[in-house]
Amino acid sequence: MSTSEALEPVDTSALLVPIHGELIALLRGLAPDQWLLPTTAGTWRVRDVAAHILDGQLRRLSFHRDALPRPGGGPDDTYSDLVEFLNELNARWIRAAERLSPAVMIHLLETVGVQAPLFLAGLPPHEPAFWPVAWAGEAQSENWMDVGRDYTEYWHHQQQIRDAVGAPGLFDVRWLAPVLALGVRALPRALAATSRPDGTVVGIVVEGPAGGRWHLFRQGRGWSLGKGEKEGDVRAIVRFNAEAAGRLWYSGRGSTASADAAVCEGDPALGQAVLAARAVMV
């Protein structure tokens, strides 16, 4: 029986300031040597991930709120061009942030950084976004999606720090459910190069209170994403637990640990395309 429904907006506006508060409490409790621990974010240490979070908040305030001209990038840039540009932008900031002590970084995050969550929380949800969410395949997004993207950034970068220092993760339903509901929107773009006959269905099952059921439906030249189950030619079903799905969708391209925790049934190529999806710019 089909339970298919259209996707609805994901409102994370009320979570932005609280999750920022969780970050400040976490960083204030770190010992000096913990700031230098490696993370799963490539070569970045804990201090580098914290600096990257600060950079994102300062960019949001400067370019969006205060209308500072945006650096680089253009309308004709490809996805790979944008990834390369962002990687270089991020790397330059991390090098400069070597000059900041942990105490200074916390102070900036606590006083200046919190302004970004407050600004984002006040944006009209359905007006055009300042930045489109490219990992979801969107050339134009609404504010709620752009705000949600920043929420997922706050969540997954904070999780990288928590993993590095052995702190409990943010896997309660309150935090994780919107992360999953947003991350699943990366799937149509991930399957774009995987052609199948019209009517092909791929089921996505994320188990646990924070999870849900979604489906991908092939029609015309692309895949559409819906909530629930859909009747049709179900060629594959991919099952995750909620924590594994969150870790996978917001990990680097080469990460396999959470993919190993998934169970793929049916067409293996479709299953692998689902496991390759990332809700980050990689």
pLDDT digit string (tens) for 125-183?
999 999 999 999 999 999 999 999 999 999 999 999 999 999 999 999 999 999 999 99
Q: Domains in the chain, ordered, with CATH?
A: 13-170 (1.20.120.450), 185-275 (3.30.1050.10)
169 sits in which H/E element:
none
How far apart CA 130 and CA 197 sit, in angstroms, is 36
Contact by Cβ (8 Å): 51, 94: yes
Indicate the pairing of strand 233-241 with strand 222-227: unpaired
pLDDT value, residue 4: 82
Give, in degrees to the nearest 5, the angle at Cα 45 between 39 and 46.
Answer: 85
Residue type for position 159:
Q
3 compared with 225, residue with greater pLDDT: 225
Which whole-number Å values give the CA distances from 145 to 62, 151, 165, 170, 185, in the listed order?
20, 10, 30, 21, 10
Indicate the pairing of strand 200-207 with strand 233-241: parallel
* Residue 260: Cβ-neighbour burial (10 angstroms; 0-12, 13-18, 19+): exposed
| Percent above pLDDT 90 for the chain | 91
How far apart CA 275 and CA 46 sit, in angstroms, is 27
Average pLDDT over residues 53-67: 97
pLDDT value, residue 254: 61
pLDDT digit string (tens) for 108-118?
999 999 999 99
Which among 244, 100, 87 is positioned nearest to 171, based on CA atoms?
244
Is residue 257 over pLDDT 90? no
Please tell me the pTM assigned to this model.
Answer: 0.95
How far apart CA 3 and CA 25 sit, in angstroms, is 42
pLDDT value, residue 252: 80
| Percent above pLDDT 70 for the chain | 96
Average pLDDT over residues 31-40: 98
